[in-house]
Structure 1
């Protein structure tokens, strides 16, 4: 057995802290299983520090390495396979490419790995509505319930199958992006039919029509992207690629809810609570092996780690630069205006260091006054831990401010 606690009172305090912390969350909102929680509580009762640390470390590692299954769905001929190839950076002629063609080419669900995003499997599903895959049999044939996240591909115009797929995803309480392909063809056709033509106005017309169709069918409006699989540097494709890579790089099937758009402040709070659990668990497993205070002075290496954490939180809560660009285009608000009302991107700049220190002191005082469990149990956590919580809270507040700003425009 590993190193044992020297004091019964500290052991009891640790057990109380761990048990009490996770009692705050409903079972479906806990990022680790009840089995893991019970194991940690047992090792805490026995006073086995190393097993506590190892069990939490293993659980967090499992979360990080869990595969994420992403399904690309839609009608045949909308460009699903082409989209997968472009997103993966694979040429259509390459051996590992998804087959494309003018006839139905995807006859069975086919998995593809992304070369730069570990643990992500992108599934190319057969098109819905063909003779081989009629709507009434489609969901069962493609094993619809096995996927964690969906990308619905549509083209030319909004169809009933698009709505039916969106409803099926929503019923499973899973999330999706809506991608309208071939907008270059739409633009060219519009240009030929009308004497006066405005590109941006026409694209906004397509986007607004998609939004209205989701609302008309009582569905939450997902992120909507207008793209061309041929002109990948134009339209929304650059933003879509960055946003998708950010989302898929930081999510597992157990916390895919992070990809849900910030449609309400309650959603933002759910995301924030999950991230807080990660931070708390990391601090707890490190803290049980620490017998002396480890507050100290914040070092340059700590600041670099905090910058990484800050960027991570911005991606998870939809405050990163790529998402801001998408929000600006979607809400027709200048991106500079959105950046101006956010605080988190500038927190760790040298010129703001004194302001951050002042915020940090107030944050600690608030934690103590709220009888923070981490402090009350005698566990000593590094200064950087509390700064991570402060960064997260600041990012969450930015997300809420942006939600109010963009929502008021709709």
Structure 2
């Protein structure tokens, strides 16, 4: 390892592997995981529990948005219905029929909804958890899959208790938690999250995402974190750290391509990877026009709609293309020299691409922080 350029040694160390070949393979896997890994989330519960609204909230949508899952006081979902994330098509939320409805009895429910396709289940209730919820959780547990209980419409409960009974927010939340734990005592130690699909910055929504991220398989974690809406500075900074960690993998995958002595191959591949990386960040940080429009309406600050971040992404990609193109000749000439030249080409490509990625990430993160300040969500 000592004979290799120091940047390559650094990349190997960042990967946690021993050899350049092992590090490169891991980089390719992590890059693919960042951009392409599938995540299928099942949202279930009794009819009228708020399943569809939760599906919309997890996709960063309002119930009234054009692509939102339909909601209503009666059962609007008659079969498992997939809803792709609006900016991450590899993430799908499945709005499942209400458990206990005439076509989906609790005992045969999992078979009917094709249980194996989902990574985990969110069991939703807008009031007390009932026998069907418990039966479903036990069946999921038998099949060794993960489930979480979500108490929806918590904002309405808090408002009702305050207006009608004079009970403050913290006491109401404490009562709901205690009652929910009592209702689900047959499950063991159930994980219960109190949420509002209308305002994901309130209550346990962030705690739910934290728990899901920590308990999902590693290759699924980035898909979840990228897909959740930016509702606080804390979630934004977690996304920033995720992309910072991923930058080495994208850069090293680029370095592996640079070893091949084909004119233009490295720089064209680098530009494609950089473009995909920046586009993923742009959507994940909620800087696209639709996300800014939804944020503007939620916090009642119309001027946020006029912010246009797409020119920044285009500028970053253009500047990156110039920077990567400037290093292309050195990469190509090094790649012509057997062994040592290949390592040098990989080092040049790795260093240049990583620098470009991190600088672009910093620029987009700063814009996202400004947006949150403007929205009053610091």
Normalised TM-score (structure 1): 0.45
Higher relative contact order (CA 8 A, sep 6+): 2
In the superposition, the TM-score normalised over structure 2's length comes to: 0.48
